[in-house]
């Protein structure tokens, strides 16, 4: 790694320690205790409250104790609401103290690039071992070949829907176009089961729905040269479609939903379909006794996954991407990187990935052929989430500016503004003004 051979290491540490009258590694081993510095190294890891709680448990109860043993460090594992990760890293960077390893969503790492340690070495090793990173990962986590965040996994966003209900209104297959989706939703809403979709100010579901909807109508916030092009007929059409469909086919409470609301509504049987990570299906599979259909059979047997419908310009996907950053204020950068290496080691990562049952799609190509994807056909569509997912700002770069647009919820709020009664053209123009301030200064 750094060109220090084992022999040289023993010699040096031995020589230093001999002077101190103890005896290098031999001395340390004789005392039967880890050296003092290692005892004190505590790596503070901050992640979200996992939508698959079993993954949190696996880390807490198995992988992290193993890591502590293998690396001779202490790991303090903390979880918070996903929406609180950004405030935490901001306060950490500003105060120069905080967690050593922080999970972030999508292209958020770009916002903090100046204050993040370079993790290219770890990212490089893992890519070499497990296949290259998907473009989605490298675009969100790196810039100019330098990785300032370590890709963890992609949370594939697919529509979880009730197969039998869609069949009842004539859709034996999931709708392929937005208009079909609206038609199906309208019929199901009349029966009391609208489509559920969050349009609140939250990190996950609202943007993963709003961005592809915009793209599929031919709209985009910027073009590939970075020029703001939001104010187009395509965008206005998308915004108008959404507001009309909202009344016809969607649960109108969605404007106040966060990322967990659709899970609760779906599992309670009040909505027919919702764009989601696989957490609804996974939860219903884990507790088939608790979540049932009206006929008493497990709800999981009536759930299928399908990608979002397409529009005039095609079909698009935006999947919530997760990665970890090591802020440069951390005093344990090297220990933290070792922890990352440990977690991403094939046999360890496999346990975590398998516990997630496909909720998390790994960021490297090597995992596409994993057995997990063959086990359950309902989960199979998630295998390609990393391959097909686009990044915020598409077709432009997912840089800090696109991250600012994302964290200010500007695209989702543009749709929501028209739903709340603002004229579609005005909502788009207002969004354009905001985007211009961000992109053009």
Nearer to another protein, 19 or 268 (CB): 268
Residue 414 to residue 288: CA distance in whole angstroms: 39
Q: Pick the closer one to another protein by CB: 133 or 415.
A: 415
* Distance from chain centroid for Cα 109: 12
Structure tokens at 114: 């100046």
Positive or negative, the CA dihedral 172, 173, 175, 177 is negative
The Cα–Cα gap between 284 and 50 comes to: 16
- Tell me if the bond preceding 395 is cis, omega within 30° of 0: yes
Closest to another protein by CB, 227 vs 420, is 420
Residue 368 is encoded by which pair of tokens?
């596409």
186 vs 264, which CB is nearer to another protein? Answer: 264
Site string for another protein, 213-252 (x = CB under 8 A): --------------------------------------xx
Q: Between residues 150 and 255, which has the closer beta carbon with respect to another protein?
A: 255
> Residue 155 interacts with another protein (CB under 8 A)?
no
Among 52, 417, 424, 435, binds another protein (CB under 8 A): 417
Return the residues of window 176-195 that contact another protein according to CB under 8 A.
Answer: none
Stretch that binds another protein, among 5-13, 28-36, 61-69, 262-270 (CB under 8 A): 262-270
Interface region with another protein, contact rule CB under 8 A, candidates 35-43, 301-309, 358-366, 416-424: 416-424
Q: How many CA atoms are closer than 13 Å to the CA of 130, on its beta-carbon side?
A: 26
Taking CB under 8 A as the criterion, which residues in 85-144 touch another protein? 86-87, 89-91, 93-94, 111-112, 114-115
The CA–CA distances, whole Å, from 249 to 112, 193, 258, 274 equal 39, 9, 19, 12
DSSP 100: S
Distance CA 212, CA 381 (A): 17
Q: How many residues bind another protein (CB under 8 A)?
A: 42
CB of 371 to another protein, least distance (A): 37
Helix, strand, coil shares, percent, the chain, to 5:
50, 15, 35
Backbone angles phi, psi at 249, to 5 degrees: -125, -15
Nearest distance in Å: CB 46, another protein: 15
Sites of contact with another protein (CB under 8 A): 83, 86-87, 89-91, 93-94, 111-112, 114-115, 199-202, 251-258, 261, 264-265, 268, 270, 404, 407-409, 413, 416-417, 419-420, 430, 433-434, 437
């Amino acid at each position: 790694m750094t060109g220090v051979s084992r022999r040289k290491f023993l010699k040096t540490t031995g020589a230093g320690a001999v002077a101190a009258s103890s005896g290098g590694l031999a001395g340390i081993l004789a005392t039967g205790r880890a050296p003092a510095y290692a005892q004190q190294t505590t790596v503070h890891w901050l992640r979200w409250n996992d939508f698959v709680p079993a993954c949190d448990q696996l880390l807490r109860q198995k992988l992290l104790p193993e890591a502590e043993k293998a690396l001779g460090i202490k790991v303090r594992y903390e979880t918070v609401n996903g929406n609180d990760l950004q405030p935490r890293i901001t306060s950490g960077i500003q105060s120069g103290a905080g967690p050593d390893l922080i999970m972030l969503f999508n292209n958020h790492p770009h916002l903090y690039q100046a204050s993040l340690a370079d993790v290219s070495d770890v990212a490089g090793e893992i890519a070499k071992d497990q296949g290259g990173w998907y473009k989605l990962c490298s675009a969100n986590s790196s810039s100019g070949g330098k990785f300032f965040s370590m890709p963890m996994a992609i949370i594939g966003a697919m529509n979880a829907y009730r197969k039998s209900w869609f069949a009842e209104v004539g859709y034996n297959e999931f709708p392929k176009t937005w208009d079909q989706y609206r038609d199906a939703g309208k019929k199901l809403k009349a029966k009391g089961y609208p489509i559920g979709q969050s349009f609140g100010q939250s990190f996950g579901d609202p943007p993963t729905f709003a961005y592809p909807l915009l793209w599929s109508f031919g709209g985009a916030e910027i073009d590939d040269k970075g020029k703001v092009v939001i104010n187009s007929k395509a965008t206005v059409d998308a915004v108008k479609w959404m507001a009309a469909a909202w009344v016809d086919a969607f649960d109108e409470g969605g404007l106040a939903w966060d990322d967990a609301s659709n899970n609760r509504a779906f599992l309670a049987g009040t909505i027919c379909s919702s764009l989601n990570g696989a957490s609804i299906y996974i939860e219903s599979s884990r507790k088939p006794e608790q979540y049932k259909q009206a006929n008493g059979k497990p709800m999981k047997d009536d759930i299928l996954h399908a990608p979002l419908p397409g529009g005039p310009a095609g079909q698009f996907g935006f999947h919530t991407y997760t990665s970890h950053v090591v802020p440069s204020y951390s005093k344990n950068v090297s220990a933290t990187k070792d922890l990352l290496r440990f977690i991403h080691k094939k046999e360890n990562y496999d346990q975590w990935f398998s516990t997630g049952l496909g909720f998390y799609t790994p960021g490297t190509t090597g995992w596409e052929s994993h057995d997990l994807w063959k086990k359950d056909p309902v989960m199979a569509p998630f295998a390609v989430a990393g391959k097909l997912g686009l990044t915020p700002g598409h077709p432009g770069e997912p840089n800090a500016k696109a991250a600012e647009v994302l964290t200010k919820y500007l695209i989702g709020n543009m749709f929501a503004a028209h739903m709340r009664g603002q004229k579609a053209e005005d909502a788009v123009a207002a969004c354009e003004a905001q985007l211009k301030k961000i992109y053009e200064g």
